[in-house]
Amino acid sequence: MLVGRSAAGKTTLCQRISHQDLVYHKTQTVQVVNQTMIDTPGEYLQRMYFRGALMVTSVEADVILFVQDATEETTWFPPSYNTQFNKPALGIVTKADIASSEQIENAKKFLTAAGASRIFVTSSVSGEGVDELLEFLGYL
Ligand SMILES: Nc1nc2c(ncn2[C@@H]2O[C@H](COP(=O)(O)OP(=O)(O)OP(=O)(O)O)[C@@H](O)[C@H]2O)c(=O)[nH]1
Ligand SMILES: [Mg+2]
């Protein structure tokens, strides 16, 4: 299950993983992609009254992916956010193709603070880091 602020790159990563064209679609509700990924709207993280919905949805998930845009100066993940889910949490840094190495390091820090046990630096545009993630998840 992918969790992250709006425009973090969750849907685009799902498109990359499922070999679809990268087309922008605002995610309005929880979407199951390819029967393997649960894509969620950024608002579910950004609006306090929606966060309960993420916890309910996570019951179906094996792993939670915290998705952080490397070009974002801040994070929406509270410290130790992983403790809200009774599941392993991984950190995904997105948009590595347009981020500086300093921005990527900053994004990694946010994800570590959120409780991600392992972090993958990715770009859905270049494909960087995506195979490593899939291999770790057991898809490759
Ligand atoms: N350069 C670059 N742009 C990206 C990447 N991933 C996503 N984007 C762009 O970021 C924007 C938002 O991407 P989405 O994948 O729709 O974001 P989301 O996290 O699904 O957002 P919500 O559905 O609103 O929660 C789009 O314009 C994408 O093209 C990436 O790896 N590199
Ligand atoms: Mg989306």
* 124 pocket-lining for ligand 1 (C-beta < 6 Å): yes
Ligand nearest to the CA of 12: 1
pLDDT band at 139 (very low <50, low <70, confident <90, very high): confident
Distance CA 59, CA 11 (A): 20
Helix, strand, or coil (residue 54): helix
> What percentage of the chain reaches a pLDDT higher than 70?
99
Contact in structure between 101 and 113 (CB atoms under 8 Å) = no
- Does residue 66 carry a pLDDT above 90? yes
* Residue 54: closest CA among 67, 69, 43: 43
- Does residue 126 carry a pLDDT above 80? yes
What's the confidence (pLDDT) of residue 27? 96
Q: 75-101 b/e with 16+ CB inside 10 Å = b?
A: bbbeeebbebbeeebbbbbbbbeebee
* 129 pocket-lining for ligand 1 (C-beta < 6 Å): no
Question: Could you read off the pLDDT of 72-89 as tens digits, one per residue?
Answer: 999 999 999 999 999 999
Q: What is the pTM of this model?
A: 0.98
Task: Give, using CA atoms, the residue closest to atom 30 of ligand 1.
Answer: 95
What domains appear along the chain, each with residue ranges and CATH number? Answer: 2-131 (3.40.50.300)
Phi, psi angle pair for 89, to nearest 5°: -120, 130
* 6 pocket-lining for ligand 1 (C-beta < 6 Å): yes
